[in-house]
Structure 1
Amino acid sequence: MTTTVVAPLPRWAREAADAVDLPALADRVVEVDLAAAFETLRENDEFVDRLRASVVENLSALRQVLTGRLPLAEVRLTEPFALAALQARLRLPQTALQRSYRVGFRAMWQEWSDQLVARAEADDVPRGESLAALQALTELVLAYQHHAASQVADTFARTDDVLSRSRDHVRAGLVQHLLRDDSTPLPPSDLVLLDYPLDAAHLAVLLPATPEGCARQILDTLRDKCHVRDTLVHPIDLTSTVVWLAQPRQAGWTAARIVAITDCLRSLGLQASVSEPHVGVQGVRDGWRQVRDVQSVRAAWGSGVLSYADVSLEVLLMADPARARAFVRAELGELGAEDEIAARLRETVEASHRFGSHVTTAAHLHLHEHTVRNRLQKAAELLGRPLTERRTELQVALRLARLLIDA
């Protein structure tokens, strides 16, 4: 890159430039940058620290250029480039970067030109010499701005291009790392790229028939209808996706919020497995484990939205399938036969336990009350005991039968 050659300042002007209070000027430049370009990042300590480091390094280098101690072509910067890379990772538009440089260097020029004018008046410098020095100062500041900003813009563009092509791939790798039980904490730079609050309360939702692109559209709906702000999307394969929804740890996930999420998923006609809420990094892993457990027993329920609370008993008992099968055979006897008649009887008994009366059971199954009564009597005969005997064991066996027999 060609660097503009600018005439040096006269000695009195260099001394004036050297007298500028750089810490105070740095505070002023940081403030105007935040106000003009980064207002929403005032509370982001990492960003503000990077911004201040960039401003301080630019001020120090610019003073060396103005005082003649460092040729412009030899200026080497690091902090402004680190800030540009961070801006790209935060997905800030390049226009914000450009605006910050405009207002920041205008504040710098204003301070140094004020110092020069004050020194010229104090030393009674001739008007022509004063104007020539002011012009040279202005040209030096503009040349330095061009020298620094063009390189920073290039860093921003290259970082943004790399991130645009690899961000999703890298984020997928970070999520896979988080889901391992032996994973180490992510460094700050990776947390910025992940862009998801790991210390929050998380609700995992597995969408087994929804590819990543469609999942992102569904999240737009959830954000609008359920007031969810922070989300993390992770494709499992080409046709299924898991997402995590975050609420601040203090607020957490109330029962009403969870119902709103599941109702919204149902209204969209989706298949979805929903975890219980969990907190922190371990909560991300626990939610992932739960939605996979829900998915493992989904076949007995078919399509629709299932929460972990709906099937936690089946998940627990199916940890040992062989013993679960033995339990079902022992409890159900002939009622556990793998035929259509036994399946209808089991369905009727299970509904009777759930609703508590023949009338309500008949309405639910769209049957006549007498049909329900006859089925329950036949089920008791096959069972070899009254349906009120070992009631808890019978209910558990019927739920497991949906997994082990009907499937």
Structure 2
Amino acid sequence: MTTTEVAPLPLWAREAADAVDLPALAGRVVEADLAAAFETLRDHDEFVTRLRASVLENLCALRQVLTGRIPLTGVRLTEPFALAVLQARLRLPQTALQRSYRVGFLTMWQEWSDRLVERAEAEDVPRRESLEALQALTELVLAYQHHVASQVADSFARTDDVLSRSREHVRAGLVQHLLRDDSTPLPPADLVLLDYPLDTSHLAVLLPGTPEAAARQILDTLREKCHVRDTLVHPIDLTSTVVWLARPRRPELIADRLRALGVDASISEPHVGVQGIRDGWRQVRDMQQVRAAWGGGVLTYPDVSLEILLMADPGRARAFVRTELGELGADDEIAARLRETVEASHRHGSHVTTAAHLHLHEHTVRNRLQKAAELLGRPLTERRTELQAALRLARLLM
């Protein structure tokens, strides 16, 4: 049946369609889309905002069609096409786009069909009329889905085609290939296009909150100040970028330069070869999971490798902290100050240096350490290694 042959809904069914709470339904559709097709983008603010706007515009237009206010050919949309362009820029597969439309429109149909059945039962509508209305509703929803999804798919394909012809987009695809554990060696033509030596040592630098264009400006500075020549840039999304630096002579200089630039950065250890590119990527990605405890700034993998290792099992890590810290692990401001003082004392050694670091009087440091030992129930010198590990974990868990 073509779109023009779909029977209009009867008045009672149109009233039922008009009564649907669209903002609430939009929330359910967005959640269904994220769960089915875009799970990794839940924290991508721009994408989720675009998705929600697209869903809400589709719902408003579909209700106009169901209630007979406008014909299907009169539907004019902008948000779904903007979302399709963003999906292409993020290099999401078209299958994800198609899956999201199937799941999203199924959620919409379920809501409207449920409301139609409820109204039919409430008004004691004859069975045949109810079934005909449900059939018309289903056909209208399917016709709308086909009408919109085919246009959105065309928009996605056109954008993706333009991006695919650009050199940087192709390089991004090659990097994604390299990051896969089951990737095959790149052929010579792709190696030329990649223009980055794979058989040397690499330092991965993740720049959260730094888009690709700004990351390239940072690389210009690193090339000049740190004698870095070969670099590989890969945008993670629209706001974050990871770069690899080949043959890093002195990684500590790179960290110092990034600190001088005032950017947030996670720096891996040097690794060799294609597997080294993957290993560096895994390290900086793992570092992001514990970055919140340190706030902004530049982190190197050795700074947080212990936390990453211990947080592999969060449940056991919490149990370890509770056992080791006792009352010193209380979730309050006083205990937090005491933990900070104990940790600084371990790091700096003397009361004088600790006091200077924390901008406190030496007597205050002594008093805090004494109080911490009382809460701990043992001298701070006992189980020193376990205590240090528990204090570092506490920053992540409290």
Pair in the same fold by TM > 0.5: yes
What is residue 390 of structure 1 aligned with on the other side? 383
Q: How does 1:91-240 map to 2 (within 5 A)?
A: 165-240=165-240
The alpha carbon displacement at 1:189 in A equals 0.7
Question: CA offsets per residue over residues 278-307 of structure 1, 9 Å max, x none?
Answer: 000000000000111111110010110000
Q: Distance in 1 between matches of 2:317 and 2:323?
A: 10
Q: Distance in 2 between matches of 1:391 and 1:206?
A: 33
| CA spacing shift, 1:208–1:316, aligned 2, 3 Å | same
Q: Please point out which of 354, 362, 365 is paired with 2:347.
A: 354
Q: Distance in 2 between matches of 1:297 and 1:271?
A: 13
The alpha carbon displacement at 1:163 in A equals 9.4
The alpha carbon displacement at 1:391 in A equals 0.8
Letter in 2 for 1:332: L
What is residue 241 of structure 1 aligned with on the other side? 241
The alpha carbon displacement at 1:168 in A equals 1.4
The alpha carbon displacement at 1:244 in A equals 0.2
2:243 aligned counterpart, secondary structure: strand
Question: CA offsets per residue over residues 129-169 of structure 1, 9 Å max, x none?
Answer: xxxxxxxxxxxxxxxxxxxxxxxxxxxxxxxxx89942111
Q: 1:279 and 2:235 equivalent?
A: no
2:396 aligned counterpart, secondary structure: helix
CA contact (8 A) 2:164 2:170 kept: no
Q: Please point out which of 336, 344, 357 is paired with 1:343.
A: 336
Q: Which of structure 1's runs of 4+ aligned residues deviate more than 3 A?
A: 162-165
CA contact (8 A) 2:203 2:246 kept: yes
2:186 aligned counterpart, secondary structure: coil
CA contact (8 A) 2:351 2:366 kept: yes
1:306 aligned counterpart, secondary structure: strand
Letter in 2 for 1:387: L
| CA spacing shift, 1:294–1:337, aligned 2, 3 Å | same
Letter in 2 for 1:322: G
Q: Please point out which of 295, 298, 318 is paired with 1:302.
A: 295
Q: Distance in 2 between matches of 1:311 and 1:265?
A: 18
Question: CA offsets per residue over residues 281-335 of structure 1, 9 Å max, x none?
Answer: 0000000001111111100101100000111111111111111010000000110
1:402 aligned counterpart, secondary structure: helix
Q: Distance in 2 between matches of 1:182 and 1:365?
A: 49
What is residue 404 of structure 1 aligned with on the other side? 397
State the percentage of identical aligned residues: 86
Q: Distance in 1 between matches of 2:258 and 2:366?
A: 37
The alpha carbon displacement at 1:260 in A equals 1.0
The alpha carbon displacement at 1:403 in A equals 0.6
Q: Distance in 2 between matches of 1:348 and 1:400?
A: 15
| CA spacing shift, 1:200–1:163, aligned 2, 3 Å | farther
What is residue 325 of structure 2 aligned with on the other side? 332
What is residue 372 of structure 1 aligned with on the other side? 365
Q: Distance in 1 between matches of 2:391 and 2:309?
A: 15
The alpha carbon displacement at 1:357 in A equals 1.2
CA contact (8 A) 2:231 2:244 kept: yes
Computing the radius of gyration from Cα coordinates, the structure with the larger value is 1
Q: 1:260 and 2:231 equivalent?
A: no
Letter in 1 for 2:361: H
Q: Please point out which of 297, 306, 324 is paired with 1:313.
A: 306
Q: Distance in 1 between matches of 2:328 and 2:349?
A: 20
TM-score using structure 1 length: 0.57
The alpha carbon displacement at 1:358 in A equals 1.0
The alpha carbon displacement at 1:355 in A equals 1.1
Letter in 2 for 1:181: D
1:245 aligned counterpart, secondary structure: strand
What is residue 51 of structure 2 aligned with on the other side? none
Q: Distance in 2 between matches of 1:270 and 1:363?
A: 26
TM-score using structure 2 length: 0.58
Letter in 1 for 2:356: A
Q: Distance in 2 between matches of 1:355 and 1:242?
A: 33
Question: CA offsets per residue over residues 44-93 of structure 1, 9 Å max, x none?
Answer: xxxxxxxxxxxxxxxxxxxxxxxxxxxxxxxxxxxxxxxxxxxxxxxxxx
**Structure 2 unpaired stretches of 5+:** 1-161
Q: Distance in 2 between matches of 1:299 and 1:319?
A: 16
Q: Distance in 2 between matches of 1:214 and 1:310?
A: 25
The alpha carbon displacement at 1:404 in A equals 0.7
Number of residue equivalences: 238
CA contact (8 A) 2:203 2:271 kept: yes
